[in-house]
Structures are given as C-alpha cells and as structure tokens.
A and B are shown apart, each in its own frame.
Chain A
Amino acid sequence: MNQDLISSILDLISKMVFPFLGTTEIIAQPRAYWDNSYTIWLIFSIIFFVGILLVGIYIVIRYRYVKGKNEEGAHIEGNTALEVVWIAIPTILALFLATLSFANFMYQRTLPADALEVKITAFMWGWEIEYPNGKVVSTYFNTEKPFEKDDSEKFYLPVGKKIKVLLSSRDVIHSFYVQPAMITEDAVPGRITYMWFQINKEGEYYAFCREYCGSWHSYMIAVLKVVSEEEFNKWLEQK
C-alpha cells in the first residue's frame, strides 16, 4: 500500500467520524444543532464502547480455559446491587440524550420569522421551486450528465438568509435533503410539510432525494446555487 492511499483513508476516517471538525465556520444551518447532538453522542459512545471492549478483552484473556489450571467457572448466579447500578446508568444516560435531542430538535423545527418563503414540489424525477414573486424553476433528471445542471436549472438562493421551504409532491413520496445543512423532510403527496435552512457561503450545493422513488431516484438532485443578495434579487427579476 502506498503512502497516499493510507493518508487518504485516514483523512476519510477523520471526515466521516468527526464531521464537525476541520471547519471553523458553520457554513449552513440548522447544521449546528445536528453537530451538537452528534458530538455528545460520539463522546458518550466512544467512552462506552472502549470501556466495554477493554473489560471484555481483559475478561476473555484473564479467564480463558487452561487445562489443569482453569477448567471450571466460579459459581456466581448474580449480584442485585451491581445490576441495579447498571440498569440505572443507561436509563439516566438514555433520558439525558433524548432530552438533549429534544432541545436541538426544537431549534431545527422552529420556523424563523424573517425567512424567504419558497415552495418546492417534487415529482418523478425532479424538483420545481416557486419563489414569492411567482418565478418557477424546474430541474429534471438527465442520464447523459446526471450530476451536472445547466444554469437555467439551478435553484438560486441568497447567501446567509434563512429559507423557509413548503414541500409537497405531485406523485409519490420524495424527500428533500439539503446536504450542507444536514436536514431532511419528506415531500408527501396531498400534504404540505415544511423545513428551514440557511447557507452562509456562496457556492453550489447539492440537495438530494432521500425517499426511494424508482428508476432514477439517484439522479433526482437539485443544485442550490447560493449567491449574494444583490445577485439573487437581480436573477429573481429576470423572466
């Protein structure tokens, strides 16, 4: 194995397991609340996992069968005090994590007051966005160049502005996942669901469909083009 491959695998592991590291600025919201839940869970899990693993390895090595020396196990049927302790600790931890999650969830789901409201409609296999002034942009799957979009198909959004999305679907259930913001909400036919997000850095981002919807499910993407507010307003006025 060459050095490059090893270092890129290590780089990959750090990006996967510690996704909240490496970027000092939070490029999208409500990502921070996701990060918060994830970080506390990760710390708790690593402690729990490593603890149990070490105890387990120690027990298996220390008490392994040795002919003539260790052939029979001790007669221990239980220990109530010990069991009460290790029932109580996971219960407290579980309730703590659930409550933490609840607090973060409130931020993720509370709609901001000063948001730009857009309507996004999903269909097999593409998205349609309607801006407050009635401008409509659609994007369809394209098997020739599945992950590239022409400028006329990109969803323009102003940088640093909260976007309120009203979601629906024309045919089957789809799901709108804004990748940088780590937020997902299903688009259900016959219902209107909602979500909000905000991207703080100009550039192009993917939004994927996350509910399985048939042949070209994986090509059902939308490119979010995040531009400055002036540029966005100029673009919005164009017909």
Chain B
Amino acid sequence: MEERAEDLEPGITSEGTSEESRHQHKEVKPWYSGGLKDWIFTTDHKKIGILYFFTSFIFFLLAGMMGMLIRYELTNPGIQLPSIAGQEGADLYNYLLTGHGTLMLLWWAVAVWTGAFGNFLIPLMIGAKDVAFPRLNAFSYWVFLGASVMVLLTAIPGNWIKMLWTAYPPFASNPNAGPVAYYSIIILLYGIAATAGSVNFVATIISMRTKGLSFRKMNLFTHTILGANLIQLFGVPSFLGAVTLLFLDRYIGTNFFNPEIGGDPLLYQNIFWFYSHPAVYVMMLPAFGIYSEVIATMSRKPIFGYVSMVLAIYLIALIGFLVWAHHMFAAGIPDWARVLFSYTTILVGVPTGIKIFNWLATMYKGAIRLTAPMLFVLGGLFMFLIGGLTGVLLSMVSANLGLTDSMFVVGHFHYVLGMSVTFAALAGILYWFPKVTGKMYNEKLGVWSFIFAFIGSNIFYFFQTFSGTLGISRRYADYPNILEWVLINQIQTFGSVLLFVGIVLFLINIIVSLRSGQKAPKNPWHSPSLEWSATDTPVMSNNFKKDHIEIHKDWHPYAYYKGYHEHF
C-alpha cells in the first residue's frame, strides 16, 4: 500500500524528518487504500461517501430498470406484464411503480446528495479533517444499507408492496396494498439514517469550518447541503410519524386515519406531505449547488450575485414547508386552503427565478468551456426551466383541478426531480471524478452519453407531460385503445430507450475511465475552491497536509477572474 502512495505522490513522503515523518508517512496514503476490513469499519467521510455512492447508484440503475418495465407495460394497451405466483400482471405493474418511485426519490435523489456527494465533498470544501460525528456517520450508512437490503427482499412475489411510495390510508390498510409493516420498517430505518446524517452535516457545516471561512465564503454547494439537511432535520420526523401512525392503525387498532371508527384519512396526507413536499427541495437544492459550482468553474467567472444566490437557497427551504397542501388540491380540503396554498406555491417560482437569472448572468462575458459536466449542467438547466414552468401551471389551483393525478404531473416532476437532479448528479460525478479517483474521465463518452440522455429524456418527458392534457391519468396499468393514446405512449418508449442508452454509455465511461483513464493533474479545472486548491488529487487520507489550513483574507471559492491566486 505504501508503495502505491509513493507512486502517486512521490513528493509528499519526503516532507518532514524523523519521528514526525514516520507519523505523517502513515497518514499520506491515498484515501481509498486499505483492505476490506478497513472499508467495513471505516469512519472516514470519503470512504463512507463512496459506499453511499455505490449503494445509491446501484439502486438508481435498479429503479431505472423498473422504469423500463413500466414503459414496456404502457407501450401497448392491455396488460403485458406476466402474472407471477398467482398475482396479476397489473399487480406486478403496481409493485414496479412503488419500487421505481421509492427508490428513485429516496435512494437516488436524496441519498446521492446527502449521503454520497455531501460526505465526500463537504469536509474538503470547508477545510475539515472529517465530519463532526464520524462514528454516527458510519452508523447512518450501515442502517441505510440495512434498509436497502430489505428493499431487495420486496422483490419476492409475496412481499410486493403495491401501495406506491405515498401509502395513503385507508388503502394502506387494505390487503391489496401488500405488507405495510414491512414498508414501515424500511422507511423507519431509512429515516433513522437520514436523521443521523442531517444532524451530522448541520453540525459539521456550522462548527467545523476552518478559520476565516465565513458563511459568505462558503461554496454554494455547501450552502445547499446545509439547506437540504435543515429540511431533513425538521421534515423527516413528520414523515416517520406518519408511517408510525399508519403502522399502529394497521396492527394495534388505533384510529388516526381509519374513517370507519372516527379517524381522518386526510390527516395522513397532511403529515406525509409536510415532509414529502420539502423533500423535493432536499433533492433539488444540492442540484442547484452543483449547477453553481460547474457554471462558475467552466465559465471562469465568480458567481453573479453570490449573496442573493445564498438567500434564495434558504428562502426555497423555508417556502418549501409552506406549500404541502398543493398535493391535496382535489382531496376535499376547504376552498380557502386551496387558494392560500396556490399563492404560496406559485411564490416558489421567485427564488428559483433568481437562481436561473443569476446563472445566466454568471455565464455572461465568461470563457465557457463546453466540457461534459458543463453540458450536463446546461441540459439540466434546460430541463429545470421546463419543469419549473409546468410547475407554475400545476400550482394554479384552477388548472390543477383538471390535471391533478394526470400524466402532466408525472412529466412535470420527471423534468425536475428526474432529469434535472440526475443531470446534476452525473455532472457532479464527472466534475469530481479526478478528485475521487486521480484519473480523468473520457470526454468523448461523456459528451455522447449526454447527447443520448438529453434527446431521449426530452422526447420522453415532453410527450409524457402534455399527454395529461389529453386526459391520460397516471398510475394506470392499462388504458383504452385510443389511437392517439397508443401513439403518444410509443413515442415516450422510444425516448426512454434513447435515455437508457445514454445512461449505459455513462456507466461505460465510468468503468473505462477507472481502468484506463489518464492520470489527472492536481487541479484540472484551475479552481480556487478548497477541495481542489488545498488537497492532493486524489485526496490523501488526512485530507489536508496540515491540521489547520489557512485561507487568505481575499480568498473566495469563486475567485475566477484574471489574475486570481491559485494558491491561497
């Protein structure tokens, strides 16, 4: 192992002398060195980040395969999926919908940020040796893995959970919904992991910034992770509460949600969406963070209006908690509540508008390098713009009454949470690939995977979004044989195949670059941000050479203009 470390960074081991050098010699191994035992018992934020990344990416691929099976079912009218173990093909479809939704949202769009990207990058960006509670961090990963293994066991036919990730009662108390207890335990484990993680990140970012790194000098990605984890901290308990009450209703005989004995099923929806709506900002905010990082770096410009970008992040996190009832516009809540929530929802457009304009202004008069991460970010912004504008329509209560639970909603959130988040994650993977592995990704494969994914997803989700205006409802295993409806579904499937090819090319890119990528320079993007400028590539296991890194008083993570100092 030590030879490997010297191969990669020959200069470092020669630093220092005698006792001190022996001490340091042990610590300057690259972060990924160490055997299986080391990986299992690790408390290193970088290793835990990568464990999170692999788990989350595998579930992304699995959920993607479920999505392809859903497309297979919908390509033609009729039920195509086979009946398994006495359960109808329609039941398999409902199981796939539940799995696709739960995994894509919780295992991919939330976990990839707070678990993978947050863990690996946040201590590096704020100049810390590790997170505030390293053992809690390891604990949260292994609990998360436990939940993940339980998810895999739901594939056994008798274990199919068929009530969608929302699990609305009283349907959740119906035998047709599948094993509710099993679902509750998965979500509780997930929630324990998420809460432990959010406590850790909030503490780390607030208390472990290196000297001189004020909130006004923090990377926007760090701000978005802080915002996202504050949402988790306040929101997840509400979600866990809803699921626990559901469990008690079903098995202990309490009557929180059961209307037959005086409960109220809409109470569940209120508690559930109080978390689950802000949760979309847990997915979206770090994506915004990545957009900011990549746009500033690739345009060689400081972020335009840094302060308003930061304020917009916390404003979005705050407004996120005031809009949950827009998921219930047609659920029989009072009319005044619908109007009130329509107003608050539509106001979310303001801070997101600020961010879009500021990104454009950041690119203005820049020197824009159209590398693969930048293409993914521009593609993601394009998708976000459509997703945001369709969101405006859905937030208008009068339009919502005609479109709620239609394919328009599905298309809308696939533009935002599907592609905008995924493109940001893929951009982030390529952007920090050299930092993690010490090798460069393959630019050509990166660009081709972007082209396929961008064209495919736009064909797919454009037609999906507007198929709702024709009257096609969501969550349907089958639909009437209307020529338009069949055609529109077949176009979507064509798009989904292109998207699938794009994701496969991306995967090939990662594997090829890991095996035979070019050796990366220390700071391939010439970025003053701490994770690039103050650490080696790949990072050594002690993160920074000194215990306390010092930053110059003029240092800023986005000081990209001509004549900036690379080595603050």
Cross-chain contact B171 with A214 (CB below 8 angstroms): yes
Q: Smallest distance from the beta carbon of A112 to chain B beta carbons, Å?
A: 16
Specify which chain A residues have a CB less than 8 angstroms from the CB of B365 in the assembled complex.
63, 73-74, 76
Q: Which residue of B lies closest to A105 (CB)?
A: B398
The A-contacting residues of B in range 261-304, CB under 8 angstroms, are: 263-266, 299-302, 304
Known contacts A12-B484, A74-B365: A189-B176 contact under CB 8 Å: no
Cross-chain contact B168 with A45 (CB below 8 angstroms): no
Q: Does A72 count as interface, using CB distance less than 8 angstroms?
A: yes
* Binary CB contact string for chain B from 362 to 400 against chain A (1 if under 8 A, 0 otherwise): 011111111000000010011001100110110111110
Cross-chain contact B466 with A17 (CB below 8 angstroms): yes
Q: Does A113 count as interface, using CB distance less than 8 angstroms?
A: no
Cross-chain contact A65 with B368 (CB below 8 angstroms): yes
The B-contacting residues of A in range 211-231, CB under 8 angstroms, are: 211-219
Number of B residues, CB within 8 Å of A = 98
Q: How far is the CA of A49 from the CA of B404 in the complex (A)?
A: 23
Q: Smallest distance from the beta carbon of A14 to chain B beta carbons, Å?
A: 10
* Binary CB contact string for chain B from 311 to 324 against chain A (1 if under 8 A, 0 otherwise): 00000000000000
* Binary CB contact string for chain B from 124 to 152 against chain A (1 if under 8 A, 0 otherwise): 00000000000000000000000000000
Number of A residues, CB within 8 Å of B = 89
Q: How far is the CA of A72 from the CA of B58 in the complex (A)?
A: 39
Cross-chain contact A98 with B301 (CB below 8 angstroms): no
Cross-chain contact B343 with A49 (CB below 8 angstroms): no
The B-contacting residues of A in range 185-215, CB under 8 angstroms, are: 185-186, 188-191, 193, 206, 208-215
Q: Does A115 count as interface, using CB distance less than 8 angstroms?
A: no
Q: How far is the CA of A53 from the CA of B166 in the complex (A)?
A: 35
Q: Which of A76, A188, A215 contacts B94 (CB 8 A)?
A: A215
Of the listed stretches A87-95, A128-136, A151-159, chain B binds A87-95
Q: How far is the CA of A124 from the CA of B173 in the complex (A)?
A: 13
Q: Does B210 count as interface, using CB distance less than 8 angstroms?
A: no
Q: Smallest distance from the beta carbon of A53 to chain B beta carbons, Å?
A: 7
Cross-chain contact B343 with A98 (CB below 8 angstroms): yes
* Binary CB contact string for chain A from 21 to 41 against chain B (1 if under 8 A, 0 otherwise): 000000000010110111001
Q: Does B157 count as interface, using CB distance less than 8 angstroms?
A: no
Q: Which of A78, A190, A193 contacts B265 (CB 8 A)?
A: A190
Q: How far is the CA of A66 from the CA of B162 in the complex (A)?
A: 54
Q: Which residue of B lies closest to A182 (CB)?
A: B402
Q: Smallest distance from the beta carbon of B166 to chain A beta carbons, Å?
A: 8
Specify which chain A residues have a CB less than 8 angstroms from the CB of B259 in the assembled complex.
188-191
Q: Does B164 count as interface, using CB distance less than 8 angstroms?
A: yes
* Binary CB contact string for chain A from 139 to 161 against chain B (1 if under 8 A, 0 otherwise): 00000001100000000000000
Cross-chain contact A218 with B301 (CB below 8 angstroms): no
Cross-chain contact A90 with B350 (CB below 8 angstroms): yes
Cross-chain contact B332 with A65 (CB below 8 angstroms): no
The B-contacting residues of A in range 161-187, CB under 8 angstroms, are: 171-173, 175, 177, 179, 182-186
Specify which chain A residues have a CB less than 8 angstroms from the CB of B19 in the assembled complex.
none
Q: Does A70 count as interface, using CB distance less than 8 angstroms?
A: yes
Q: Does B469 count as interface, using CB distance less than 8 angstroms?
A: yes
Cross-chain contact B399 with A171 (CB below 8 angstroms): no
Cross-chain contact B302 with A71 (CB below 8 angstroms): no
Q: Smallest distance from the beta carbon of B164 to chain A beta carbons, Å?
A: 6
Q: How far is the CA of A87 from the CA of B347 in the complex (A)?
A: 11
Specify which chain A residues have a CB less than 8 angstroms from the CB of B358 in the assembled complex.
83
Cross-chain contact A214 with B177 (CB below 8 angstroms): yes
Q: Does B346 count as interface, using CB distance less than 8 angstroms?
A: yes
Specify which chain A residues have a CB less than 8 angstroms from the CB of B21 in the assembled complex.
none
Q: How far is the CA of A173 from the CA of B479 in the complex (A)?
A: 21
Q: How far is the CA of A52 from the CA of B375 in the complex (A)?
A: 17
Q: How far is the CA of A8 from the CA of B261 in the complex (A)?
A: 53
Q: Smallest distance from the beta carbon of B92 to chain A beta carbons, Å?
A: 10
Cross-chain contact A76 with B389 (CB below 8 angstroms): no
Q: Does B234 count as interface, using CB distance less than 8 angstroms?
A: no
Q: Which residue of A lies closest to B467 (CB)?
A: A16
Q: Smallest distance from the beta carbon of B484 to chain A beta carbons, Å?
A: 6
Q: Smallest distance from the beta carbon of B367 to chain A beta carbons, Å?
A: 5
Q: Smallest distance from the beta carbon of B202 to chain A beta carbons, Å?
A: 28
Known contacts A49-B385, A60-B363, A188-B332: A71-B353 contact under CB 8 Å: no
Cross-chain contact B363 with A63 (CB below 8 angstroms): yes
Q: Which residue of B lies closest to A218 (CB)?
A: B476
Q: Which residue of A lies closest to B406 (CB)?
A: A210
Cross-chain contact B470 with A74 (CB below 8 angstroms): no
Cross-chain contact B168 with A173 (CB below 8 angstroms): yes
Q: Does B65 count as interface, using CB distance less than 8 angstroms?
A: no
Cross-chain contact B463 with A16 (CB below 8 angstroms): yes
Q: Smallest distance from the beta carbon of B372 to chain A beta carbons, Å?
A: 14
Q: Does B250 count as interface, using CB distance less than 8 angstroms?
A: no
Q: Which residue of B lies closest to A189 (CB)?
A: B259
Contacts A34-B399, A41-B392, A75-B301 supplied; 7 other A-B pairs, CB < 8 Å: A16-B466, A33-B398, A41-B399, A59-B360, A171-B170, A190-B263, A193-B332
For this complex, 27 residue pairs linking A to B, each with C-beta atoms less than 8 Å apart, are A16-B470, A34-B398, A59-B366, A73-B367, A73-B562, A75-B302, A75-B562, A78-B304, A78-B305, A82-B361, A90-B349, A91-B347, A97-B392, A98-B346, A98-B347, A101-B342, A101-B397, A173-B265, A177-B405, A179-B471, A185-B401, A186-B330, A190-B259, A206-B471, A211-B168, A214-B162, A215-B94
Interface residues of chain A, those whose CB is within 8 Å of chain B, are 8-9, 12-13, 15-17, 19, 31, 33-34, 36-38, 41, 45, 48-49, 52-53, 55-56, 59-60, 63-66, 70-79, 82-83, 86-87, 90-91, 93-95, 97-98, 100-105, 108-109, 124, 146-147, 171-173, 175, 177, 179, 182-186, 188-191, 193, 206, 208-219
Nearest 7 A/B pairs, CB to CB: A190-B259, A182-B402, A101-B396, A73-B301, A16-B466, A75-B561, A104-B398
